[in-house]
Chains A and B, each alone.
Chain A
């Protein structure tokens, strides 16, 4: 059964690119363009992994993680954050909130994303 990946990213361009790449790799991809919608999808569709952008309008990545930690059926879902700035402060905070791994937008390439996703999903078993 194909693994479900939820991508929460407000920049449509990047969202589409990630979606396309992951679909190509055989994953089922769910998308959301802000934190609130992302949480709703998480509750409804229970993805196996979440790729989470940090800086988003209304509800950002950190808040999403805080909400996830409160819910029983959400807190187990692994999160890989996508950081725009790559600042250590941001990444450290994400890790404290439970993020399993991180990506920096301007430094990674599609192959790296796929690798990190694959690694995380393998760890879950």
Chain B
């Protein structure tokens, strides 16, 4: 072989080797790229899977939220009470079917409007009257929508971070309760009325016997009969109280106010207590004001009832030889009556209920088993109907002071 040929062969071989190397290099690179690509494909696959999972979760969450929303809507829609929601601009944003029924409206007619805009509807007008266009909070206020259709209104202001987000209004139908209450009151009224006649007859008969009109009676007979007479008197008193309460509840407890001097009313009432005060040896003082009092505008009979009740309580619950002080003070705008006794007082835990119907404190019941628990209820009603206030201070075992105030209607000119 020619040396040139060998050289050429060598060159070619080397070139071939280089090309081979390059090829192998390229193949290696390709293989790497292929690996990388397959890795990336796998990664993409994983991302895709993860994304699918997220989408699934979101879908699930959305479904759950929708379910909850539907459930809430169903609850609101079928809620036994009427529900209305006013947004932060005091415009109606939600109204359930019960509310649509109560107000005789359709949702579409009213959503988006303010209470003032809605007040062409007489029912909404009544609500506006109670809560105002700013929708203030009320708790169980009664609204008479129409005869025998009475609702109890509660509004709750929804506040977040000191700003009002809206107001929730709930209306509960109490027509049935009111009707039952009225029936009960009527029944009490009727029953009490019927009871008066036989009680009067018993009172009379006993009085006639005790007065000796049917012949002489001995000491033992007298004693028994007097006890019966007293029991009967208590029954009569209870019937009167029950009737008064019934009348108050029915709104038939009428008042005939006149201009009057409270000092004279008190003096008048006191006249019938002299015997009781003596018998129980009570130290009784009426702190009569030196200057004549300004006039109050009151129903004399009813105010006398209140004073009687307070004096009765003071006498009953004060042991013999105790003290009772009555005083009258003229204040800036009111006349204040107070009666202070050194009696059994009122226990701390029962103070809240003293003015409730039929309530008698436990120590009162122990001291004297009779007593209807109606006196203070009636007294509170009367005083408040006159625009006054009634309250007390008390310490168990030491005594109580009861106060009431009545507004002055005719200010006396003070002599300078």
Is chain B's binding surface mostly helix, strand, loop or mixed? helix
User: A119 within 8 Å of B by Cβ?
Assistant: no
Indicate the size class of the contact surface on chain A: 10 to 19
Q: How far is the CA of A105 from the CA of B213 in the complex (A)?
A: 19
Indicate the size class of the contact surface on chain B: 20 to 34
Contact flag A110-B196 (CB < 8 Å), given A13-B201, A14-B201, A88-B256: no
Q: How far is the CA of A24 from the CA of B201 in the complex (A)?
A: 18
Across-interface contacts of A1 in B (CB, < 8 A) = none
Interface string of B191-220 (1 = CB under 8 A from A): 001001111110111011001010000000
User: Which A65-117 residues sit within 8 Å CB-CB of chain B?
Assistant: 84-85, 88-89, 105-107, 109-111
Task: Report which of A88, A105, A107, A110 forms a contact with B208, defined as CB distance below 8 A.
Answer: A110
Beta-carbon contact of B239 and A110 below 8 Å = no
Give the shortest distance, in Å, between B67 (CB) and chain A (any CB).
64
Q: How far is the CA of A14 from the CA of B199 in the complex (A)?
A: 10
Across-interface contacts of B204 in A (CB, < 8 A) = 14, 17, 109-110
Task: Report which of B197, B198, B203, B213 forms a contact with A21, defined as CB distance below 8 A.
Answer: B213
Q: How far is the CA of A111 from the CA of B239 in the complex (A)?
A: 23
User: B236 within 8 Å of A by Cβ?
Assistant: yes
Q: How far is the CA of A77 from the CA of B235 in the complex (A)?
A: 36
Beta-carbon contact of A17 and B240 below 8 Å = no
Q: A106-B196, A110-B204 are in contact. List 14 more A-B contacts (CB 8 A).
A: A14-B197, A14-B204, A17-B208, A21-B208, A84-B196, A84-B197, A84-B200, A88-B254, A88-B301, A105-B197, A106-B236, A109-B203, A110-B207, A110-B208
Closest 7 CB pairs of A and B: A13-B201, A105-B200, A109-B207, A17-B204, A106-B236, A106-B200, A11-B197
Chain A contact residues, CB within 8 Å of chain B: 11, 13-14, 17, 20-21, 24, 84-85, 88-89, 105-107, 109-111
Please, could you name 19 A-B residue pairs with CB atoms under 8 Å apart, sorted by A? A13-B197, A13-B198, A14-B197, A14-B204, A17-B208, A20-B213, A21-B208, A88-B256, A88-B301, A106-B199, A106-B200, A107-B236, A109-B203, A109-B204, A109-B207, A110-B207, A110-B211, A111-B207, A111-B211
